[in-house]
Amino acid sequence: MECTFCGDKIKRGEGKIVVKEDGSSYFYCSSKCEKNHLELGRDPRNVEWTNR
């Protein structure tokens, strides 16, 4: 699996899965990626430290 925001690989048993009410699911490797995507609404293409 890979992180929805930064594109890093997530090891089995690590990370976090967020499922929204519409059924879409997001996989995050860290709270940093989760906050940047959901709370701050940042685009991973415009953030320097992502692989996207």
Does residue 26 lie in a domain region? yes
Does residue 40 lie in a domain region? yes
CATH at 4? 2.30.170.20
Q: Tell me the C-alpha distance between 52 and 50, whole Å.
A: 6
Q: What percentage of the chain carries pLDDT values higher than 90? A: 98
Q: pLDDT digits over 21-38, tens only?
A: 999 999 999 999 999 999
> Mean pLDDT for the chain?
96
Does residue 50 lie in a domain region? no
For the purposes of burial, counting CB atoms within 10 Å of the CB of 36, is it exposed (0-12), middle (13-18) or buried (19 or more)?
buried
Does residue 5 lie in a domain region? yes
Residue-number span of the structural domain to which 8 is assigned: 1-44
Count structural domains, the chain.
1
The pLDDT of residue 52: 83
Does residue 49 lie in a domain region? no
